[in-house]
Structure 1
Amino acid sequence: MSVETQAAADAGAGSRDARWKYLDHIRRNAGPFTDPGATEDEFLAQFEKFKILYAFRLRMFEGLR
């Protein structure tokens, strides 16, 4: 693996980690229009079971643009 490839992989992993950290922050912190019960642990545990297919589909269709 070349140095450029490794650097790109490391940068991609960093941005992916930052993106998930940001999304988790949004999920766990209530906003001004959030239902007060929506931040309880029982409610948040439901999100751990979700399977998100959108990211896969987006990546699959990126080459079609």
Structure 2
Amino acid sequence: MTHAAYVFAAYGISALVIAAVGIWILIDQASRKRELKELEQRGIRRRSERREPGKTDSGGKRTGK
């Protein structure tokens, strides 16, 4: 195998792996968004969403500073 063939093969394999990871990330992102939408439709909210001042969390600690 010549030096050029080795380099082109290495670049080609690297490009395929990077493309596969990118596609996998996009598919996984769509799946997570779909799950979030389903949870929000069921009334389950994100933890990071601000609560009303004065309410307590499950541990009895006051929230909302």
**TM bracket, shorter-chain basis:** 0.3 to 0.5
In terms of Rg, which structure is larger? 2
TM-score (norm 2): 0.48
TM-score (norm 1): 0.48
> Which structure has the highest helix share of the two?
1
